[in-house]
Amino acid sequence: MTLKAGADLLLGGKLENLPILEAATESGELPKERIKDALVRVQTLQDDYSL
């Protein structure tokens, strides 16, 4: 739900969230494209701030 609301930073380094994300995409609740976009934003932020 938080990713759907735009809380992309919750993806950063949280591998335990992968099963939840997979289930959400398989059910159609969350488009894969939304996850890809969020990952790009998080990676860009990490790169910009050397995190």
Q: pLDDT tens, position by position, for the chain (51 residues)?
A: 677 777 776 665 667 778 888 898 999 998 999 888 888 888 898 899 987
Half-sphere exposure (Cβ direction) of 35: Cα atoms closer than 13 Å: 17
CA 27 to chain centre: 16
Identify the pLDDT of residue 12. 59
Identify the pLDDT of residue 14. 66
At 39, which helix (H) or strand (E)?
helix 32-48
